[in-house]
A = this chain, B = another copy of it.
Amino acid sequence: MKVGLIGVGLMNGSLALDLKSAHPSVTIYGISRRASTLANAKELGLIDHQSTIDEMKDMDFVSIAIPVTATVDILPSVLNAIGPNTLVIDMGSTKTAICESVSEHPKREQFLACHPIAGTEFSGPEAAIRNLYQGKVNMLCETQKTRPDLLKRAHAIFTNLGMHMREIDPSEHDRNIAYVSHLSHITSFMLGKTVMEKEADEQNIFDMAGSGFSSTVRLAKSSPEMWMPIFRQNKHNVIETLDEYISNMEHFKSLLANDDYTTLVEEMKNINKIRHILKPENKTNGK
């Protein structure tokens, strides 16, 4: 199997590690804007060869995992370049704009829009880890537009990685993911900002911040190059989540300011129910 990776960071790098384990005969061709990134990916054993868009014509499977605005820019040219037997997927955290960018493309049926719900706060080839996708969900959009044999191939590859497939409409995906992913990245970034602005003496953070703070602020370590384009492309939905979140914050503040502790406790008890909705941590971590 010949696999082309456009972007060789956390997502495609981790994919490469698992593909190499599952298919010893796979050959992996990598593309990246930065020569140094490609060199790192090669040194880390993620890719076998540096490649070009033109060479994607010989691939069985091409995975695009780059900033979502760049995906929209490059996806039509990738489809132009591929041969008749190539499957192309993307792993972006937004789906509407990406699906729209090739909706009229003559090779639309060779593309499958994916969003594996997997990742860490780290980025780049060095961030690649084994089993990132094990036990995780892969959201698939507009599967009816993908050629059945290629859709079947995608299913086989992802199932082999240990993933569970779910189908979802692109706009529903973007609306929901704004709540369960994009918003939590912004709340983390703003928590980090608020604390850093207050604590001129960094040692105070170091001493007094416990595992709770580390957990809540973890996503503030995420790559701006990857995340700004996501917020930008999903701007309408993200702003809606921010409005609702800020309104909830203001409400909480007013309960506290007005000493309405009965309502405060009631609200917190209601929110506690998230215990039963969330997957257990160890399952979420794919262990």
Contact = CB atoms under 8 A, between A and B. Distances in A.
B187 A225 contact: no
A232 interface: yes
A224 B281 contact: no
Contact of A192 (B194, B208, B253, B271): B271
Interface of A: 117-121, 136-137, 139, 166, 173, 176-177, 179-181, 183-199, 202, 204-222, 224-225, 227-228, 231-232, 235, 238-239, 241-246, 248-250, 252-253, 256-257, 259, 261, 264-265, 267-275, 277-279, 281, 284-286
Report the copy number of this chain in the oligomer.
Answer: 2
Contacts of A242: 249, 252-253, 256
A276 B272 CA distance: 32
User: Dominant SS at the A interface?
Assistant: helix
B179 A195 contact: yes
23 contacts: A119-B212, A136-B210, A139-B208, A166-B207, A176-B204, A180-B205, A181-B213, A183-B195, A184-B212, A187-B190, A189-B252, A189-B267, A190-B248, A190-B249, A192-B271, A197-B248, A198-B241, A206-B279, A214-B284, A216-B219, A218-B281, A242-B252, A242-B256
B179 A265 contact: no
A163 to B, nearest CB: 12
Which 5 interchain pairs have the tightest Cβ spacing? A224-B268, A184-B216, A117-B210, A180-B209, A192-B271
A66 to B, nearest CB: 16
A184 B191 contact: yes
Given A184-B191, A194-B248, A224-B265, 7 more contacts: A137-B207, A176-B199, A179-B199, A187-B190, A189-B271, A194-B244, A215-B218
B204 A274 contact: no
A74 to B, nearest CB: 19
Contacts of A269: 224
